[in-house]
C-alpha cells in the first residue's frame, strides 16, 4: 500500500490554521484508513504460522494506542495554552479600552469552556475533558513519563495513575518521582544501563510505587491525604441491569480488610458444615443478614417459588452466621492484617512506606500508629524484612504440596497474580515446574496466581519454568502457544532505591 501526504508548508499567518496543520490532519486521516485495513485478512486465516505475527501486531497496536493518547494530551496542552492566551488578550484589550467591568467579567470566566471543548472533541463526559487538561498540565512536570508516553511505551491508564498519585506533591517532588520511576538509569557498580523501572510494572503497581515514593518525599502530605480520605468514607448503591445492585463501602483499609476477612471466615465455616452455597454467595447473604438482622433473599428473591416450584432455601433462617452449638456467631472477631515494614520504619528512623499484603502502600507514620494503637479492631502483625537481602531459607523439597506457611509466604512475596499484566488477587499457589514433571515443593518453585491464570497454564501449548530461583531474584518464564515468551519477576517486599544513577544525556 502506498501512502501520500500533503506538502508541509509554512502557516499562512500567525494564529491562523495553515497548510501544515491541514497536512497533519490529512496524515491522521490516512493513519485511520491504514489501521482500518489491518483487519486480520480472512484469506490468511487458514495459513499456519500467522498467529505469532498477529500477537506481535496486537503488541504494536497497543503502542499505537498509547502514542495516539499521548498526542491527544500534547494537543490538549497546546490548545489550553492557546485558549488562555486569547482570553488574556481579550482581558487586556478591555482594560486598554477602559472597560473595567468587562475586563473583570472576562477575568472571572478565565479558563471556562476549555474542558468542555475538549470533551466535545473527544465525545466524552465533561469530567473526562477536565481530567485530560489536568493530565496535560501535570506532564509538564514529568518529562520522563511524557517521553515514554509519546513513544507508546506506557499507556494512558498508567499515566493517569502516576499523575493522580503525585497530585499531593510539589512540582519538585513530582519531578523526583518521575525521575526515579520513568528515567533510564545506569548501575554505578557495573555500568549496565537499565530501562525505567515503570516499564516492568502494571498500572496498578506503578500507582502503588508512585504512592510509596510520594509518601516518603512528603510524609506529612501523605498523612493529611489519608486523614482527608477517611472523612470521605461512605456507603453507596448502584443498580445493575439484572435487578441486582452494587452496595459499595468506601472505608479505611483496616476496616475494609476486617469486613471482608470476617465475612470470608464465617462463609468458610458454613461451607465446612455442609452449606451448599458458594463462599461468594454466603458472604453476600451474611453481609445482608448482619446489617439488617434478617436473612438475605438469596436466589430467586428468596421465599418465592423458583423454576422447580419449591421455595428457595435462602428464605429459611440463615445458619451461616451461627456457631456449631446454634448460637449466633460473634462477628466481632480479631482479623489479621499482614503489614510489611522495614525495621527502620518500625523504629521511627525512616519514612519508607510500609505495605499491606496486597501491595497497598501505607505512610510510615500511619503504619506505626496501626501497630501501637490498642483500639485497633484488627490484629496487625509485623513482618520485618531483611534490610540487605530479604532472603529466606528453603524447607523440605520432597513434599507433594506447599505447606501453609509457604503459601502465606507466596502471597506476601507476590502480592498479586504473577502473570504479567494481571493484578488479580492470588487464589491459587502454583508449581511453575509441575510436580508431575519433577518440580519440587520449594519456595523457589512456587508462585501465586489468580484462578483464571492457574487454569490457563494447563492448556495445550502453554509452559512455565523458573528461570531464576535465587531468593530476592525469583523469576518465572511463561511460553504461550505462539512461542512468545514473557517473564515475571516477583516484586520487592518493599521498594528500595538501587545503587543506580540517572543515565547522562547524550553528547
Which has the closest alpha carbon to 371: 363, 380, 362?
380
Cell numbers found for residue 44: 490468511
Residue 313 to residues 226, 305, 308: CA-CA distances in angstroms?
Answer: 43, 10, 12
Q: Which residue has the higher pLDDT, 439 or 384?
A: 439
Asked if 273 and 250 touch (Cβ cutoff 8 Å), the reply is no
What is the pLDDT, as a whole number, of residue 114? Answer: 94
pLDDT band at 185 (very low <50, low <70, confident <90, very high): confident
Which of 46-55, 117-126, 145-154 comes out lowest in average pLDDT? 46-55
Which has the closest alpha carbon to 116: 132, 133, 129, 134?
129
Asked if 351 and 216 touch (Cβ cutoff 8 Å), the reply is yes
Give the mean model confidence (pLDDT) for residues 55-77: 92
Residue 50 to residues 37, 56, 57, 364: CA-CA distances in angstroms?
Answer: 17, 10, 11, 51
Please list the alpha-helical segments (H only) found in 109-202. 114-122, 126-139, 143-150, 156-165, 171-182
Beta-bridge partners for 488: 476
Asked if 371 and 389 touch (Cβ cutoff 8 Å), the reply is no
pLDDT digits (tens, 9 = 90+) for 223-249: 888 888 889 999 999 999 988 999 999
pTM of structure:
0.73
pLDDT band at 444 (very low <50, low <70, confident <90, very high): confident
What beta strand segments (E) does 251-405 contain? 336-342, 354-356, 361-362, 379-385
pLDDT digits (tens, 9 = 90+) for 486-505: 999 888 777 655 544 554 44
pLDDT tops 90 at residue 211: yes
Q: What angle do CA 71, 161, 473 make, to 5 degrees?
A: 110
pLDDT digits (tens, 9 = 90+) for 44-63: 555 566 788 888 888 999 99
pLDDT digits (tens, 9 = 90+) for 367-404: 888 877 776 654 555 555 544 434 333 434 444 455 66
Amino acid at each position: 500500500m502506498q501512502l501520500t501526504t500533503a506538502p508541509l508548508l509554512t502557516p499562512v499567518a500567525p494564529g491562523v490554521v495553515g497548510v501544515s496543520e491541514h497536512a497533519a490532519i490529512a496524515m491522521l486521516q490516512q493513519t485511520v484508513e491504514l489501521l482500518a485495513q489491518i483487519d486480520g485478512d480472512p484469506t490468511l486465516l487458514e495459513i499456519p504460522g500467522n498467529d505469532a505475527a498477529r500477537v506481535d501486531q496486537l503488541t504494536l497496536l497497543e503502542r499505537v494506542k498509547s502514542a495516539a493518547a499521548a498526542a491527544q494530551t500534547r494537543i490538549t496542552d497546546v490548545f489550553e495554552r492557546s485558549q488562555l492566551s486569547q482570553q488574556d488578550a481579550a482581558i487586556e484589550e478591555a482594560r486598554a479600552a477602559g472597560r473595567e467591568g468587562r475586563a473583570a467579567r472576562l477575568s472571572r470566566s478565565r479558563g471556562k469552556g476549555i474542558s468542555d471543548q475538549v470533551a466535545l472533541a473527544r465525545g466524552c463526559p465533561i469530567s473526562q475533558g477536565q481530567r485530560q487538561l489536568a493530565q496535560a498540565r501535570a506532564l509538564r512536570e514529568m518529562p520522563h513519563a511524557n517521553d515514554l508516553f509519546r513513544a507508546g511505551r506506557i499507556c494512558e491508564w498508567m499515566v493517569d495513575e502516576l499523575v493522580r498519585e503525585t497530585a499531593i506533591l510539589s512540582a519538585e517532588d513530582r519531578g523526583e518521582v518521575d525521575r526515579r520511576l520513568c528515567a533510564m538509569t545506569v548501575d554505578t557498580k557495573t555500568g549496565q544501563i537499565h530501562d525505567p523501572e515503570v516499564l516492568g510494572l502494571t498500572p496498578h503497581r506503578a500507582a502503588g510505587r508512585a504512592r510509596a515514593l510520594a509518601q516518603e518525599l512528603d510524609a506529612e502530605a501523605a498523612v493529611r491525604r489519608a486523614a482527608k480520605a477517611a472523612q470521605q468514607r461512605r456507603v453507596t448503591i448502584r443498580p445493575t441491569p439484572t435487578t441486582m445492585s452494587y452496595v459499595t463501602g468506601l472505608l479505611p483499609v483496616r476496616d475494609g480488610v476486617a469486613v471482608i476477612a470476617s465475612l470470608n471466615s464465617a462463609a468458610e465455616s458454613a461451607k465446612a458444615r455442609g452449606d451448599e452455597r458458594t463462599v461468594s454467595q454466603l458472604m453476600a447473604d451474611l453481609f445482608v443478614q448482619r446489617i439488617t438482622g434478617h436473612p438475605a433473599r438469596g436466589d430467586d428473591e428468596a421465599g418465592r417459588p423458583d423454576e422447580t416450584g419449591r421455595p428457595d432455601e435462602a428464605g429459611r433462617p440463615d445458619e451461616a452466621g451461627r456457631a456449631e452449638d446454634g448460637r449466633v456467631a460473634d462477628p466481632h472477631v480479631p482479623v489479621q492484617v499482614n503489614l510489611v515494614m522495614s525495621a527502620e520504619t518500625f523504629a521511627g528512623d525512616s519514612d519508607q512506606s510500609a505495605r499491606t499484603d496486597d501491595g497497598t502502600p501505607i505512610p510510615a507514620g500511619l503504619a506505626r500508629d496501626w501497630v501501637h494503637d490498642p483500639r485497633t479492631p484488627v490484629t496487625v502483625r509485623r513482618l520485618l524484612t531483611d534490610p540487605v537481602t530479604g532472603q529466606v531459607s528453603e524447607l523440605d523439597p520432597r513434599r507433594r504440596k506447599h505447606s501453609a506457611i509457604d503459601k502465606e509466604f507466596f502471597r506476601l512475596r507476590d502480592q498479586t497474580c504473577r502473570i504479567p499484566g494481571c493484578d488479580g488477587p492470588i487464589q491459587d499457589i502454583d508449581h511453575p515446574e509441575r510436580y508431575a514433571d519433577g518440580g519440587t515443593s520449594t519456595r523457589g518453585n512456587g508462585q501465586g496466581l489468580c484462578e483464571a491464570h492457574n487454569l490457563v497454564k494447563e492448556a495445550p501449548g502453554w509452559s512455565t519454568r523458573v528461570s531464576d530461583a535465587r531468593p530476592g531474584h525469583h523469576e518465572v518464564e511463561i511460553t504461550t502457544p505462539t512461542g512468545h515468551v514473557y517473564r515475571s519477576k516477583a516484586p520487592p517486599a518493599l521498594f528500595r532505591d538501587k545503587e543506580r544513577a540517572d543515565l547522562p544525556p547524550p553528547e
